[in-house]
Structure 1
Amino acid sequence: MEKLSNIGSYLFLAEPFHCDFSKRLFIGHLGNHLLNAADYHSSERGYGMDYLNTINKTWVLSRLAIEMDEMPEMYTRFNVESWVDGVMKFFTSRNFKVIGEDGIVYGYGKSVWAMIDTETRQPTDIFAIRDGLIKEYVETEHECPIEKSSRVKMGGDAELVRTIPTYYNDVDINGHINSVKYIEHVMDLWDLDWYKAHRVKRFEIAYIAESHQGDNLSFYRSENAVTDGLTDFSVRITKTNSDGEEVEVCRSRILFK
């Protein structure tokens, strides 16, 4: 297989029905574009899901941080650059840069991925795939100036905001609740009036356990001290299993400007 460049660049469009009332892209749809860029990049280089699924393996997102100076406006074409900047046995880190055709940099993303066995749902050795091919594509020089995801802290005073059921449209190709659906549900914890006065500067999410169609998801929110002039919230999402036990599935942190 021909050696490609370490960095991939993929063109997207801020479609009108993927934009909110401000005529700018929803962060959930931006998240989809980032995940698509990750898939295109890995598939072109031989270690993507199109190959992994033939050997009962897949990539799952573990952490994602998105930090944006602004969101692309409706009908704007923009590129998502994606590259791997580190690999360990069970995890790999991948960066993103969102850049307009006119050269404007909208923002950046950082992510951590695990490779799992689709039958056991357990982590699998990334270096065992095609003799560690992914190591040939590690890029450490391309700039991604945002911080990695923090360890989201939740106080004991977190408020239960809502509990929602999950359905068919919440489930992704790996059979569990779609990573981006969590983002959308978190963003729905604030109403339209809030977003008329605030915009998301930074969004972080860490995935802890899988949830599946039929699980009820509960969303707990707490407000933190102001961070660098930004309003700072933490969100914990739990599921209730068949025994009635509440299990944490992910945590999120949102900084509003």
Structure 2
Amino acid sequence: MDLLSKIGSYDFLVEPFHCDFSNHIFLGHLGNHLLNAADFHSNERGYGMDYLNTVHKTWVLSRFVMELDEMPLAYDRITVDTWVENVMKFFTSRNYAIRDKSGKRYGYGRSIWAMIDTDTRQPVDILAERDGLITKYIETDEPCPIEPFKRVKLSKAAECRRIVETRYSDVDVNGHINSVKYIEHILDLWGLDFYRTNRLQRFDIAYVAESHCGDRLHLFVEEVAEGEFCVQVMKQTPESDAGQKADAELKEVCRCKIKFVAK
């Protein structure tokens, strides 16, 4: 079988209804474009969801970083370049570059993915799938000039700022709460007045466990430096007295670190 290029490039239109009050794309929608590019890239090369679903396996996102110098505007036509940087037994790292047709860079992304068995929900050996086909697409020469995922630590001073009831539109094709939905819920912790004077520069998120429709998400926030916040998302299941019990019932779902800069 002839191999395709190691780097895939995918074009997207920034639709106006995917933009916020400032006419810039919502980070969640931009994140979806990156994840769609990853899906297109892996499917075209034979180790994506189209194949994996036939053998009861799937990709799940473990960590995701976006760092942006500028957010695309409504009607901008952007290109997402994506490539696999490294593959290990249970994890693979994938990078992204976001640009326009003239070559201007909006920013970059990094992600780490695991492959799991959809019946057992347990990790499986990526290198054993299709005789390690993914290793033929490792690209190490293309730069991704942003730092890898930063470790997130919250102290006991973190406060629960919001509780989210998960519903139908939060759930994705894997049957759990969509990874980008967490990003949207987290960014809703700040209001319009804050976003009028601040721009999101970097967003790091680590996914720890799955949550499902009906779970109640508790969002804990701690400001660790000027413009820098750590957020921890904890879940309560419907069985835990409709989410009314003590914090001891909470289980971690994800945690993230966010950096804002003044506009």
Letter in 2 for 1:70: E
Q: Identity over the aligned pairs, expressed in percent?
A: 61
Give 1:173-252 correspondences, 5 Å limit: 173-226=173-226, 231-241=227-237, 242-243=239-240, 245-252=249-256
Across the aligned residues of Structure 1 and Structure 2, the Cα RMSD in angstroms comes to 0.7
User: 1:36 & 1:111 partners in 2: Cα distance?
Assistant: 13
User: 1:148 & 1:208 partners in 2: Cα distance?
Assistant: 17
Residues 37-58 of structure 1: per-residue CA shift (max 9 Å, x gap) = 0000000000000100000000
User: 1:159 & 1:246 partners in 2: Cα distance?
Assistant: 14
Q: Which runs of 4+ in 1 moved over 6 A?
A: none
User: 2:74 & 2:14 partners in 1: Cα distance?
Assistant: 5
Residues 114-172 of structure 1: per-residue CA shift (max 9 Å, x gap) = 00000000000001111000000000000100001111010110011011111110000
Q: Does 1:12 align with 2:8?
A: no
Q: Which ranges of structure 2 fall in alignment gaps of 5 or more residues? A: none
The TM-score, its normalising length taken from structure 2, stands at: 0.95
Q: Say which SS state the counterpart of residue 224 (structure 1) adopts.
A: strand
1:26 is matched with 26
The CA deviation at 1:101 is 1.1
User: 2:100 & 2:21 partners in 1: Cα distance?
Assistant: 21
Q: Number of aligned pairs?
A: 253
User: 2:2 & 2:47 partners in 1: Cα distance?
Assistant: 14
Letter in 1 for 2:147: E
1:77 is matched with 77
Letter in 1 for 2:7: I
Give 1:114-133 correspondences, 5 Å limit: 114-133=114-133
Residues 10-50 of structure 1: per-residue CA shift (max 9 Å, x gap) = 00011000011111110000000000000000000000001
Residues 153-204 of structure 1: per-residue CA shift (max 9 Å, x gap) = 1011001101111111000011100000000000000000000000100001
Residues 202-230 of structure 1: per-residue CA shift (max 9 Å, x gap) = 0011000000000000000000123xxxx
The CA deviation at 1:103 is 1.2
The CA deviation at 1:8 is 0.2
Q: Does 1:66 align with 2:70?
A: no
Letter in 1 for 2:8: G
User: 2:109 & 2:133 partners in 1: Cα distance?
Assistant: 24
User: 1:177 & 1:117 partners in 2: Cα distance?
Assistant: 18
Give 1:127-166 correspondences, 5 Å limit: 127-166=127-166
